[in-house]
Structure 1
Amino acid sequence: MITIPELKLIAILVSILLIPPLAYGEYLGSIAVDISYTNGDRADYSSISMKVYQDFSKTPYKEIEAISGNPFNIISLPTGHQYKIVVYANGMSSGVGYVTLQESQQDVHINIPIPGGMRLNLFYNDGETPISSALISLKSSDNKTWVDGITDVNGRTVRFWVESTTENEHYTVDVKIGKHLLYSYFPLVLQPGIPQEIKIVTPWQAKFSSLVTVQLFNQQGKTVSISEGSFAVDLLSESGEKILQSKVNQIGEADFSNLKVGDYVFRAINLNDNSEWGRSSVTIDGTKTNFSILKNQTSVPIVQPTPRPTISSCNCVAFRLDNVQDYWLDNVQTKIIDTFAQKNTGITLGVIVKVFGNDSKLINDVKSKVASNTTIEIGVNGWSFEDFTSYNKTQQTMLLHQSKDKITSILGVTPFVFIPPFGKINNDTFYAMDKNGFTFDSAITGTSPPALLSDKIHNIPATVFTGYTYLENGTLQSITNDNIINGIQSSMQNYGFAVVTLNFQDYAANNGTRKENAPDLDKISKIQSLLDKVHDKGFRIATLSEVGNILSKPPMPSWIKDSANSWSEGNTPKGEFLKSIEYLVKEKIIQGLPASTSELKTMPDWVKHIAKWWSSELISDDEFINGIEFLLKQGIIN
């Protein structure tokens, strides 16, 4: 009979026999995976994951959700086996490599398709009316979200560059208006290396043609009567902005027509005492035409909204080059930067910091331009082009901190401009910016910092887009310089400035099937011509921070003009007027000089003409400031 100790011994012997041979005869090795696009450029690794299969197994031996570099070293692999390495970019199966691992370190090179560019164009069901301010999410077949964005007034998103689709794979676009209207568009197939314009026609009506009726009910559940007072119903946006008002009739109803689909608030007003009688949040989607409002338990006074501030204009245009990064079309990136530098014209470079710093050609070009040309500005376009709003305040602070440190280490400059990926930003982002000394953001329009930070951080959003657009007949056409100039003029009227975004992919040569790492010289010439036209229209071209500084300048004190007039007429000494200029520098009304600039002593007498013209209203405040600023920077006033 076998005793219990003997049974334990047998179990130990069996377990030893079942240990895989690795424990006795196999060694561990590693495989360095080098990933390139099919055009030979090194691949951006920020969106790449991998699955590693051993021998003929259909179950992954290793799954790597994100790689930390390119090449990437896969470690701790038993030697003596064949490995199949599948590369995924943006969730798409993009390339595969095979290695029979016999040594401690072996290499494999895997080609993946060039990313494709897409810009989404959203329309209501008539196919002509664009949908503005719609939220979009781009998802891969595994339901992972890779891109979030928002449409502009023309229903367009910024251009996204993501991995092209392969057979049996596609993207899905979720379109959302407000919190409750959702439409999914699929399958979206993306070709490699080509900037595609995707037209999406939603099932929503541009305007809801049916009459929408709102009924008011008192606390007894009956419709209000004339004896209870005089009432009206306000239609408010989600943010509380009043859109329309309709008087309540004798049977307790108010009617609205031609409403756009979306989320709204109906607010009932007692006109006798101007109090809020009740409210109801609703979604207008065409499926319901009757809504009701129940009376509040207590009367709520109506608070009048704060009037919008008058738009201050700097008459300036900023150009923004987004997604600057190593290797990807770097010849095109440097050519665009050179074009602005040669014209001594301002441009802000939005750098994706994680994938910036190893491409010596790009780095050396940017570094030399920044060192020799004050019109080239560096901004942070995210650490790895992530959606900052998906992170908490601490995480966002860390992302900006490491981005700022890396830029400073590589280029020797400190960035103050943050260009949020996908244009998305929240209050945590503003606090993270303040913590890291960022004073300007270029997010979507309508985004404002919280009150405590409103004097520290200024929003200069993108307002004009370049590239391609759809015509009414559905054909694709490049946006002309005249279209861009019209957009700039419209932006001036609406915001007092314009920010024009450039995507370097739009300016690459195309061999008919894919983008090449060479600039299309005709398109580069188009940039040069655009800059000339902007100058000819009398607009000033500036960097994003310069625009922000101009717009945030304190108002001109009236006594400064009095001082200029008095000096120009010989009633006060030159020293008194120089003190006025010192004040303008100290208060940052004159930009680009240290606030410590003081004890000005020298100024030519002919400057009296400028002072006289200004005090006589022959030139504007901006013209006067620009003139004095120029004289200070040139050392003519010192």
Structure 2
Amino acid sequence: MVFKTSIISLVISFLIFVPVISYQQNTGSVEVTIRNENGDRVTPDLLSVKVYQDFSSVPFKEITSLIDNPLVVDSLPLGHRYKFEVYMNSLYGDVAFVDLQKSQDKVEIVIKNPGGIRLSVFYGDGETPLTNADVWIKSFDGKSWGYSGTDESGQTLRMWLYPTMKDTDYYYAEIALGPDLKYVQTPVKLLPNVAQELKVVTQWPTVVDKLITIEVYNTTNTKVAKSDGEFIAQLYDGKKNKLADSLVSDKGLAGFAKLKVGTYAIHIKSKSSDGQLTTLASKKITISGPENVFKIYLHNPELNSEYLNCNCVAFRLDDIQDYFLNGAQIDIINMFAQKQSSLTLGVVANVFGDDPNLVPLVKNMLTDKSLDLEIANHSWTHRIMTALTKDQQADDFAKSNKKIHDVLGVTPTTFIPPENLYNDDTIAILKQNNFTQISSHTSTSKSPPFQKSSLYYFPASTQTSILDRQEANWKVQSVGKVLDGINESLFNYGYAVVMMHPHEFSTYSDGIYQNKVNQTQVQQLGLLIDKVKSQGLKIVTIDKISSFDKPAPQKQPATDTPKEPLTCNCVAFRMDNIQDFYLNDVQNAAIGRFSEKNAQLTISVIGQFFGNDPKAVDLIKEKIQSKTTLRIANRGWEYVDHTAYDKEKQAASIKKTNDKIFQILQVKSVIFAPPLDSFNKETIEAANQNNVRYFSASIVRDPPPYADSLKHVPSTALLASLMDDDPFYAGTIPEKALTKIKSNISQNGYAVISLQSQDFAAKDGKLFKNEVDSSKLQLLDTILDDLKSSGISIVALDEIPSILENKSLVIPDTAKDNAGLWSKGQMSDSDFTKELKYLVEQKILQIPNSQISGEQKIPPWVKNIAGWWAEDKIGNADFVKGIQYLMEHGIIRI
């Protein structure tokens, strides 16, 4: 009995155990490698694979989100024949077969190379180019694979896409002049390895021959009449250009004729007796031909548009991460802080949190209540969402938000998808994780109507630069082009988001981006911010776009009168990196030119490399002895980023350089200009320790306000950018330079121009020669002359703070009158000295601890200055300089 039971147990155990062994031994995997005709493995993000078993027409497996190439397809039962179909851009690529008899096998599939297509788009006459249109190339299933705008010839960029290899496969082109004005060209076929041209003739007429009638309503059913007042209808395009006016008749009608197809804004304005216009109502209309009557309501704005309009702009900086081009990241953040403007940062979480320069800056900005900085989730490792499964996306969001919260103490509610790509899984996970905004780009996803929602779609519609995928670098867009994009987005969607990356604000050389800031582009960003503000637009973070209708808190009582910003109407020049032997002829020529022009110049000396070159040193000594135009600043012992040092080493660098300057030139420098304009809190402490009084970095890295005891006089522009033939400005190069300097003075109260010897050196290929480029030196001459003729004072860098302090006081007209009398000999030196004493006592002239004496003879040229001041030929700053001279020579004793 026991024997039989054991046999039965053994049989049962065998029956249970055998199927497991059989299953494990009868499945296998296939490694699928997908290459193009050049032999290169294809990027997996755009691929999908269908696997068929034997002769079935239904896929055994379907892999829509490839992560790797090669792809391993596992759990395939052995003893079957498998067909692997590869799809690229949703289009059929090629096929391979495997008779799977062993546990592992391999197959390689070669798909065709891309084909290129460029569209030339025309109006219905087939001759007039359709300019400024958006063109998307989409596969038959509606997925977008290419985007370009059309230029003045109606042409797009050439887009390289996977070819159509099956008769049933095709692309189509969607051409849009606005959200509600689209034309579709289908089918579009592509051949491999061929650059094709495609002419597209839309059905739109060049000019709509119907009269466009505007009906203006006072109530929901009654048009305005003569008794309601005088009204005018104004027509604007998407760039805010006014195109036409039309008086509203006593029957409430206005009209416009011969308009192009497009989207326009109509503004109805009331006209007062003195001719002043006040906007009462606005409406956006789309003109395509069929509809020619549009109604606009003066007192029911909800009837004019079902969409919201925040009249606001959000700037979005993507790819925030440790160390990578962090100089550009830091300068961009500081620029927005300087301009008191909001900014959204897209953080790549896995590579963020350890950068000792970037992370503390972001933390400080988040705690500064005067600034509005938003942290957005830009994924864990910048992998494209559409290449991940839903579970992988969920894991990505969870890890990213946790890391960002751990580092910065905030949880993002805005998601910026890598490469602006996402799918329905992404949206579902965002909603589950309490995200309230997603910001992609209109080139990859269209902006839906701006309506109240639990998840807002706020794609960028413009950007500061465009990625050239063939050259693998970023092509910078002009300020005007970006502004056009902002205005068009406001017009079309009610808001605008501007996309930025650190790359375009970094220098590009030898085929890669260097971690060196392109200061010109940072300054252009500052100009863009100013222009956005000058249009009356609000700069907000992305998460604030939807809350635009909430009342903004008042920062100060309405009764407070804002203080007028101080300005000295002056400019200082700071010549950096003075050193022995290197370009010494050029260096001397530039210093000499400032002296010849009687223009103040501050030079910053690198301590270790100064003092042994007679040619360089002797000229500087000569200029110092003349006591007219030259100041000496400390540039540190070595030209290295001082933030890499601790405070003691930074202090030693400043001290050694100051000692060297005194040893060689017998001058005590009180100005420190940190190398690379880079500094930290320890730099400030080290400067204070060495009795430095004036600190001069760049205004991008050192924006006001200043909390320490040093007087900060940062550079506001580079001479190299002033001497460029900048396409963003009109006029000659000197005229453009003067405009930029005036803009600096307007923004900051003064201008400080940073220059160096290389700005005036001739070049041999890429190398500078110790030979003056006379054209550049002549350009400097013209700039200096233009400044003086424009009434802008050229002062020493360390004079600017005291000039601003004196400018803050109102000098009475009687003082100028007395200065005029004295200059003409109609007032004695003694009486004029009493006048000066009175000004000092009344603190109108701030000259601390002054004692006035009229015992010494006052030089004639001081009288000339007084006369010019009385006649407003010079400003208060230059007159104060004359008084300072009297102090230095004992006429006014301190």
Task: State TM-score, norm by structure 2.
Answer: 0.39
1:128 and 1:175 mapped to 2: Cα distance? 17
In terms of fraction of residues, the more helix-rich structure is 2
Please say if 1:248 is aligned against 2:251: no
**Quick check: 2:218–2:224 contact (8 Å CA) kept in 1?**
yes
2:107 and 2:498 mapped to 1: Cα distance? 52
> For residue 281 of structure 1, what is the amino acid of its counterpart?
K
1:614 and 1:37 mapped to 2: Cα distance? 55
Shift of residue 106, structure 1, vs aligned partner:
0.8
Judged with a 3 Å threshold, the aligned counterparts in structure 2 of structure 1 residues 441 and 216 are, in CA distance, closer, same or farther, namely: same
1:98 and 1:613 mapped to 2: Cα distance? 71
Match of 1:141 in 2: 140
**Quick check: 2:121–2:202 contact (8 Å CA) kept in 1?**
yes
**Quick check: 1:215–1:291 contact (8 Å CA) kept in 2?**
yes
Judged with a 3 Å threshold, the aligned counterparts in structure 2 of structure 1 residues 219 and 399 are, in CA distance, closer, same or farther, namely: closer
Q: Deviations over 1:100-152 (max 9, x none)?
A: 11122111111211111112222111112222332232222233332333333
Please say if 1:559 is aligned against 2:571: yes
> For residue 120 of structure 1, what is the amino acid of its counterpart?
L
Match of 1:309 in 2: none
1:135 and 1:193 mapped to 2: Cα distance? 25
> For residue 228 of structure 1, what is the amino acid of its counterpart?
D
Task: State TM-score, norm by structure 1.
Answer: 0.53
Higher alpha-carbon Rg: 2
Q: Any idea what SS the aligned residue of 2:572 has?
A: helix
Match of 1:396 in 2: 416
> For residue 53 of structure 2, what is the amino acid of its counterpart?
Q
1:220 and 1:430 mapped to 2: Cα distance? 35
1:221 and 1:459 mapped to 2: Cα distance? 56
Judged with a 3 Å threshold, the aligned counterparts in structure 2 of structure 1 residues 121 and 458 are, in CA distance, closer, same or farther, namely: farther
Of structures 1 and 2, the one scoring higher in RCO (CA 8 A, sep 6+) is 1
Judged with a 3 Å threshold, the aligned counterparts in structure 2 of structure 1 residues 54 and 183 are, in CA distance, closer, same or farther, namely: same
2:262 and 2:215 mapped to 1: Cα distance? 20
Root mean square deviation, CA, Å:
5.4
Please say if 1:117 is aligned against 2:116: yes
> For residue 614 of structure 1, what is the amino acid of its counterpart?
L
> For residue 548 of structure 1, what is the amino acid of its counterpart?
Q
Match of 1:278 in 2: 281
Structural mapping, 1:410-425, within 5 Å: none
2:28 and 2:93 mapped to 1: Cα distance? 25
Match of 2:63 in 1: 64
Please say if 1:590 is aligned against 2:563: no
Match of 1:175 in 2: 175
1:194 and 1:131 mapped to 2: Cα distance? 25
Shift of residue 57, structure 1, vs aligned partner:
1.0
Shift of residue 92, structure 1, vs aligned partner:
0.8
**Aligned with residue 614 of structure 1, among 776, 780, 783:** 780
> For residue 172 of structure 1, what is the amino acid of its counterpart?
Y
2:416 and 2:286 mapped to 1: Cα distance? 33
Shift of residue 170, structure 1, vs aligned partner:
1.0
Judged with a 3 Å threshold, the aligned counterparts in structure 2 of structure 1 residues 127 and 454 are, in CA distance, closer, same or farther, namely: closer
1:152 and 1:178 mapped to 2: Cα distance? 16
Q: Any idea what SS the aligned residue of 2:416 has?
A: helix
The gaps in structure 2 that reach 5 residues or longer are 1-11, 302-310, 312-347, 349-380, 387-396, 398-411, 421-439, 447-456, 465-473, 531-567, 575-590, 599-622, 635-670, 674-695, 699-713, 722-752, 762-769, 788-894
1:191 and 1:147 mapped to 2: Cα distance? 16
Q: Deviations over 1:566-597 (max 9, x none)?
A: 5754654664176899558652623899xxx9
Match of 1:363 in 2: none
Please say if 1:295 is aligned against 2:298: yes
Judged with a 3 Å threshold, the aligned counterparts in structure 2 of structure 1 residues 138 and 613 are, in CA distance, closer, same or farther, namely: closer
Judged with a 3 Å threshold, the aligned counterparts in structure 2 of structure 1 residues 117 and 544 are, in CA distance, closer, same or farther, namely: farther
Q: Any idea what SS the aligned residue of 1:548 has?
A: helix
**Quick check: 1:567–1:574 contact (8 Å CA) kept in 2?**
no
> For residue 186 of structure 2, what is the amino acid of its counterpart?
F
**Quick check: 2:462–2:486 contact (8 Å CA) kept in 1?**
no
Judged with a 3 Å threshold, the aligned counterparts in structure 2 of structure 1 residues 428 and 267 are, in CA distance, closer, same or farther, namely: closer
> For residue 396 of structure 1, what is the amino acid of its counterpart?
I
Match of 1:483 in 2: none
Judged with a 3 Å threshold, the aligned counterparts in structure 2 of structure 1 residues 214 and 429 are, in CA distance, closer, same or farther, namely: closer
Structural mapping, 1:465-614, within 5 Å: 545=518, 548-549=521-522, 551=524, 558-560=570-572, 565=594, 568-569=597-598, 572=627, 575-576=630-631, 583=696, 586-587=714-715, 589-590=717-718, 614=780
The gaps in structure 1 that reach 5 residues or longer are 1-12, 299-305, 307-352, 354-381, 401-418, 434-439, 462-498, 503-542, 622-638
Please say if 1:200 is aligned against 2:200: yes
Q: Any idea what SS the aligned residue of 2:127 has?
A: coil
Q: Any idea what SS the aligned residue of 1:38 has?
A: coil
- Greater mean alpha carbon deviation, residues 89-98 or residues 161-170: 161-170
- Greater mean alpha carbon deviation, residues 443-452 or residues 175-184: 443-452
Structural mapping, 1:332-481, within 5 Å: 395-396=415-416, 442=476, 445=482, 446-447=484-485
Shift of residue 251, structure 1, vs aligned partner:
3.4
Match of 1:49 in 2: 48
**Quick check: 1:82–1:101 contact (8 Å CA) kept in 2?**
yes
Identity in percent = 27
Structural mapping, 1:83-98, within 5 Å: 83-98=82-97
Q: Any idea what SS the aligned residue of 2:192 has?
A: coil
Match of 2:450 in 1: none
1:420 and 1:385 mapped to 2: Cα distance? 14
Q: Any idea what SS the aligned residue of 1:560 has?
A: strand
Q: Deviations over 1:183-208 (max 9, x none)?
A: 21111110111111222111011221
1:565 and 1:233 mapped to 2: Cα distance? 57
Judged with a 3 Å threshold, the aligned counterparts in structure 2 of structure 1 residues 185 and 612 are, in CA distance, closer, same or farther, namely: closer
> For residue 289 of structure 1, what is the amino acid of its counterpart?
N
**Quick check: 2:460–2:497 contact (8 Å CA) kept in 1?**
no
Q: Any idea what SS the aligned residue of 2:571 has?
A: helix
Judged with a 3 Å threshold, the aligned counterparts in structure 2 of structure 1 residues 135 and 189 are, in CA distance, closer, same or farther, namely: same
Q: Any idea what SS the aligned residue of 2:81 has?
A: strand
